[in-house]
Amino acid sequence: MSQVFKILIADGLANEAIAKLKTLPGAELEDASGISRTDLMEKLPGVDILIVRSRTEVDEDLLAASHRLKLAVRAGIGLDNVDVKAATERGVVVMNAPRGNTVTTAEHAMALMFAVSRRIPAADASLRAGKWEKKLFQGSQLAGKTLGIVGLGNIGKTLAKSAQGIGMHVVGYDPYVNEEMADKMSVKLLKLEELLAESDYVSVHVPLTDGTRHLISSRAFSQMRKKPYLINCARGGIVDEKALEEALEKGLISGCALDVFEQEPPGEGLPLFARPNVVVTPHLGASTDEAQVQVGLEVADQVKCFIDQGIYINAVNVPNLSVEQLKTMKPHLKLCEVLGSFLGQVTPEKVSKITVHYEGNISKSYNEVLTLSVLKGYLTPLSSAAVNFVNAKNVARDRGICVEETRNDECPNFASLVRVTVEGAVTLSCAGTLFGKGEPRIVNIDRMPTEAIPSGYILFTRNEDRPGVVGAVGSVLGSDGINIARMALGLNKETGQAIALIGVDSAVTAATLDKLRKTEGMLSVQQVQL
């Protein structure tokens, strides 16, 4: 019976998204929008996929209440309310939906630039009060001015295009964007201090992390030579509000427009609200009908890919794979997992290091996810808790295992080869490749060539290279009613030791294994299941 995924919506989604989620085969949907934390804690043990917006706090306590949670989806770009670290420790994939509100947030940043430049809110209030103060509200035009965008992700990129469309010159700062990428956007890439010094407008579009908290600080304001307008539609906390108040007081900037705040809601009496050159909105960046629909549909598509194909789209704590990448890499993912699983089952001693070596064509691929597959395979037989792509590195770290990757473009005997070596009390290596239409094969164990299908129950034996050993193994298995499905041999002529990988139709009992170990010339016998 195929698994049914229980999906729970804790915060409101667009009707179009809910309708799409209801049609997913293999899914059971509960729309519990607005659910209390107490009720959510009670429901979580039976939930596989949790969908939230900004209201629900997915913290360590909430995650601890979930026993089968596999996926936590934030319907939006920000992850302030999701404890990604705690989710990773528990093997929960965390996804966001960064594209659905891209246009609407960029538009809101643009609107705030117009509003603060032309002093629109203050002029509107004045006119409503019966005044006609044209000279008082003389503003600045945007065309011809320099816009500095801090963060050139989806929203920053969209804002750059819009600003260029009205004649603004755009410069940008983003440590993850190179010159070639910036050139394609027609954006001049600068260091942060250079951007702050050259810009007439500074718009912030980075996530809130430990590295970006108070990125716009007193020091940053002191570097703003042209007294720019500051726009923040990203996250409160990126701008230090006390430093901002001081900058406004000292005239270091001409004004600011804020859609987000360090504390939300900010409450009454925030000093910034009393300033005429400050424009504020209550976190409206993604608040359009179109954005709510797009974000919801984006979430529904991501959940569908996760359920149907095990593909992680917009995951923040595991490597993302596209459908095309998965098709190409799926056979190698399977190969890497069985190599790791084999070693995990035949190496009971403590391991201090795992090295994954890639040769040939596979060395040029996205190897991080392949290494995670090796770790998942290796650690699963050794761990009582579930191990997956999300927490595999953490589980390895907690066991004191150092993980290393090496590569070699050349591969003498195959198009591609993956070799996994474990080191500790003993050192053991196992190499594999793909045959035919992507079928995994173990082709080398401890530098002994072989050709084994890694599937089902397998007896891994080491013996002295002498006549009669293989025949004796067959006799023992036959007398105990165990059928041999296939057998692969390997030999090290220098040491006089041989190996065998014997595929059998059913699990071998402890009594039969004991008989095999007592066979003359036999060095070791281990049973694995792949």
Q: What is the pLDDT of residue 356?
A: 96
Query: Residue 170 falls within a domain, yes or no?
Result: yes
Q: Tens digit of pLDDT for each residue in 328-344?
A: 788 999 999 999 999 99
Whether the pLDDT of residue 422 is over 80: the answer is yes
353 with 264, same domain?
no
Going by C-alpha positions, the residue among 260, 207, 199 that lies closest to residue 232 is 260
Whether the pLDDT of residue 403 is over 90: the answer is yes
185 with 304, same domain?
no
The distance from CA 244 to its chain's CA centroid, rounded to whole angstroms, is: 33
123 with 247, same domain?
yes
Q: Assign residue 35 the CATH number of its domain.
A: 3.40.50.720
User: CB under 8 Å to 1, separation ≥6 — which residues?
Assistant: none
Query: Residue 314 falls within a domain, yes or no?
Result: no
For the question of residue 128 being annotated catalytic, the response is: no
226 with 361, same domain?
no
Query: Residue 49 falls within a domain, yes or no?
Result: yes
pLDDT band for position 1 (50/70/90)? Answer: very low
- Contact in structure between 342 and 431 (CB atoms under 8 Å): no
Q: Assign residue 359 the CATH number of its domain.
A: 3.30.1330.90
Task: Choose, from 193, 194, 245, 264, the residue flagged as catalytic.
Answer: 264
Q: Tens digit of pLDDT for each residue in 293-315?
A: 999 999 999 999 999 888 888 88
Residues 346, 500: Cα–Cα separation, whole Å: 13
Q: In what order do the strands lie in the sheet with 484-492?
A: 484-492, 497-504, 457-464, 522-529
Query: Residue 192 falls within a domain, yes or no?
Result: yes
87 with 150, same domain?
no
Q: What is the pLDDT of residue 443?
A: 96
Residue 31 belongs to domain spanning: 5-98+291-309
Q: What letter represents residue 463's amino acid? A: N
Task: Choose, from 235, 332, 441, 462, the residue flagged as catalytic.
Answer: 235
Q: Name beta bridge partners: 524.
A: 462
- Please report, for residues 74, 103, 278, the alpha-carbon distance to residue 77 in angstroms, rounded to integers and kept in the order given: 7, 12, 25
Q: What is the pLDDT of residue 322?
A: 67
Q: Tens digit of pLDDT for each residue in 82-108?
A: 999 899 888 899 999 888 889 999 999
Task: Give me the phi and psi of 291, to 5 degrees please.
Answer: -65, -40
Q: Work out the widest C-alpha separation in the chain, in whole angstroms.
A: 108
- Contact in structure between 482 and 525 (CB atoms under 8 Å): no
Half-sphere exposure of 498 (CA within 13 A, CB side): 17
Q: What is the pLDDT of residue 41?
A: 94
User: For 508-513, which contacts have Cβ atoms below 8 Å and span 24 or more sequence positions?
Assistant: 508/457, 508/459, 508/477, 508/480, 508/482, 509/480, 511/480, 512/476, 512/477, 512/480, 512/482
Q: Tens digit of pLDDT for each residue in 148-198?
A: 999 998 899 999 999 999 999 999 999 888 898 899 999 999 999 999 999
Residues 313, 322: Cα–Cα separation, whole Å: 7
Query: Residue 318 falls within a domain, yes or no?
Result: no
* Per-position b or e across 503-516, b if 16+ CB within 10 A of its CB: bbeeebeeebbebb
Q: Residue for token digits 């795992």?
A: 354
Half-sphere exposure of 468 (CA within 13 A, CB side): 3
pLDDT above 90 as % of the chain: 75
228 with 338, same domain?
no
156 with 236, same domain?
yes
339 with 427, same domain?
yes
Q: Residue for token digits 């976190």?
A: 283
Query: Residue 315 falls within a domain, yes or no?
Result: no
Q: Which of 285-289, 383-387, 510-514 comes out lowest in average pLDDT?
A: 383-387
17 with 36, same domain?
yes
User: Chain-wide mean pLDDT for the chain?
Assistant: 92
Q: What is the pLDDT of residue 2?
A: 62
216 with 297, same domain?
no
pTM above 0.85, yes or no: no
Query: Residue 317 falls within a domain, yes or no?
Result: no
For the question of residue 235 being annotated catalytic, the response is: yes
**How many domains does the chain divide into?**
3
Q: What is the pLDDT of residue 416?
A: 94
Query: Residue 456 falls within a domain, yes or no?
Result: yes
- Contact in structure between 450 and 443 (CB atoms under 8 Å): yes
Task: Choose, from 283, 332, 419, 441, the residue flagged as catalytic.
Answer: 283
170 with 145, same domain?
yes
Q: Residue for token digits 């193994």?
A: 473
For the question of residue 283 being annotated catalytic, the response is: yes
Q: Tens digit of pLDDT for each residue in 193-242?
A: 999 999 999 999 998 888 899 999 999 999 999 999 999 999 999 999 99
512 with 467, same domain?
yes
